[in-house]
Structure formats: C-alpha cells, structure tokens
Chains A and B, each alone.
Chain A
C-alpha cells in the first residue's frame, strides 16, 4: 500500500465547500458491488422473530444449557432472553443477538437477519427457516427429530454464510 503523492491536493476552499455540501446530503453510499455480493436489502423473511426464538432455544438446549446459564455465558439480560425464546416483546437488541451468536457459535450476520435486524439475502435460508419454524414444539431435551431439525437448519446457516464470504 502506498501513500498517493500526486500534486492534486484539493484546496482549502474546495474542502470547505464539499464538507458543507456533503453534510447536507447525509449519505454517499454506492451500491454496485453491494448488489453483486448480495448485501442490498430485499424482501422480509417470513416469520423471522418466531424462527429466531426457536433457533436460540434449540441451540441452547443442544448445548445442554439452562436459560439462566446461557444468559450468564452470553452476558445478556435474562428477561430479554426469555422473551426471545417465547417470541414475545420487541425486536431484540443488536448487542444481544451478537452476544448470543458468540455464545452459541452461530453466525451473527445470519442471526441478525433471523431476528429482523437485517434483511435476509437469499431464498435458500428463508425456505429453510420456514421449514425449521414448522417443526414440533419444544421439550426439556431435544428429541431426535428436533435435533435433526436444528442440525439441518444450522447447516443451512453455515452454508449460507460461507456462500457470502
């Protein structure tokens, strides 16, 4: 990497004028590449909060953690975690989603989409999410069917993340 040295430094006046004009506009974002790599927003994921709550609950149980222990490990509010798993309350905070992703070894970016904090980027994940949400009701321990559903969905999450890397 090099520092540019051509003698094209903008004048003081030019910079002041541009600072004022750019500040009035608010954004300068260009989206050609963002489109190509799937970062532009598209349609909302159906049943997003329900899928997110179910995924967190299954991931916790798959690791054999109680709700209290996961809240402690992830350093998130217990009440918020309960609300997430029961699909109650508002959209979870970004910090909570991020911390849960770290604690459960799940992609934070994909969790953001599932939590409704970012728009989903591919149909493959959306379809897998709907299939996952339609599975059986939760019990204290994951049944073989629930574990299979959870593992299948996590596989899709990982594949979906890898395709965008």
Chain B
C-alpha cells in the first residue's frame, strides 16, 4: 500500500496536464490492442477520451474537480455537479444530489485482460466515489449521489458500490443511471458497498 494525495479545486489547466500525462500511454495501449487483435468490445470504453476538452465544464459554478496524485502522476480524476441534477430514487425524488459527471482512472490503472495488463494502483475509483459521497455530505445532500455508468463499469457501481440501477436513459445514449441513497452511501463508506 502506498500514500496518495487527494486534491480538490482542480483548474482547467490541470486537465491539460492530466491529458499530457495520460494521452501517450493511451496511445500505446491502443496500438497494443490493435496488434493483439483483441476484439473491439474488450477495448476500454474511454480509450479515446480527451480530458482537456472538459475545461469549459470545469468553469461552471456548480462544477468541482478532484484528483488523486501518487508518485507525481495523476492516478484518477473526478468531476461533479451540484445543481443541475435531482435524485430519482422513489423516496428521494427531486431532492438535491451530487451528480458524478465524469470519473476516470489513469490508463496504466486500467486492467485489460486481453493484454495481460494489471492495474498499477488499485482502488482509485473507489476512493473517488468516496470523495463524491463526502462532497454530498458537506453540501447537505445527505450522501445522495447519482451517475450514468458506461456499460463496462456497470458491475462496479452495482456490485462494488451497491448503488441502485434506475433504468437506461434515452437522453444519455442509453447509459444506465445509478443512484446512492443515504443509507447505501453510508454503507459504502463504512463497509465498502454491497459485496
């Protein structure tokens, strides 16, 4: 186990730094996948994302950015919004939530079976989700958190985090929407989710 630092208040320029650090590795990963002949469905779904394109979103008043730094590298990034989304769980409908707009871990932390690549640092995603819950508590939203998961990550939010899936969203390219109730979120903080 190693010590890492959680930073908040990410600035648009930080996203450029992150992209500069991650894009060469992402490119090499893409080449290795192409050479290996791995089926396209096995490729990481965020392979072609470019963090620097999110600068405008980070300037919004409701937006916050967090990052985990270890060994002088960005290991994962979280971006949230606190005003434009409301809870959908039946008991919480309409209440304010922290909406997780974007989560990504560094490409060297992707586990890619077909390349035999293991995560360099593990639990980065879980610590970022923990950060979103803490933000919800600090905002007075009682730990409520919502997000749209990419298909490959659904098992993480359902099984590891213990969030409730609330259906696919036509307006978000059919991504599955998940939400933490207060109880689920606190269980995740204390015990580490559903399983």
Contacts and interface: CB of A to CB of B under 8 A. Distances in A.
Interface string A1-37: 1111010101010111111111111111111111111
A32 B7 contact: no
B147 A32 contact: yes
Nearest to B160: A21
B110 A34 contact: no
Contacts of A15: 1, 123, 126-127
Q: How many of chain B's residues touch chain A, expressed as a range?
A: 35 or more
Interface string A85-98: 00000110111001
Contacts of B173: 31, 35, 40, 42
Given A23-B119, A112-B48, A31 B160 contact: no
Contact of A94 (B27, B127, B195): B27
B48 A30 contact: no
A6 B173 CA distance: 37
Contacts of A98: 27
A39 B48 contact: yes
B167 interface: no
Given A17-B192, A23-B119, A29 B153 contact: yes
Interface string B102-143: 111100001111000011001111111111001000000000
A30 B105 CA distance: 10
Contact of A6 (B34, B134, B192): B134
A21 B175 contact: no
A105 B54 CA distance: 23
Contacts, number: 174
Contact of B127 (A10, A27, A93, A112): A10
Q: How many of chain A's residues touch chain B, expressed as a range?
A: 35 or more
Nearest to B118: A23
Contact of A27 (B30, B34, B45, B49): B45
A62 interface: no
B186 to A, nearest CB: 12
Contacts of B54: 33, 37
A91 B50 CA distance: 21
A28 B147 contact: no
A91 B34 contact: yes
B83 interface: no
B100 interface: yes
A10 B191 CA distance: 10
Contacts of B152: 26-27, 29
Interface of B: 1, 5-11, 14, 27, 30-31, 34-35, 44-50, 53-54, 57, 79, 99-105, 110-113, 118-119, 122-131, 134, 147-150, 152-153, 155-156, 159-160, 172-173, 175, 189, 191-193, 195
Interface of A: 1-4, 6, 8, 10, 12, 14-37, 39-42, 90-91, 93-95, 98, 109, 112, 117-119, 164-165
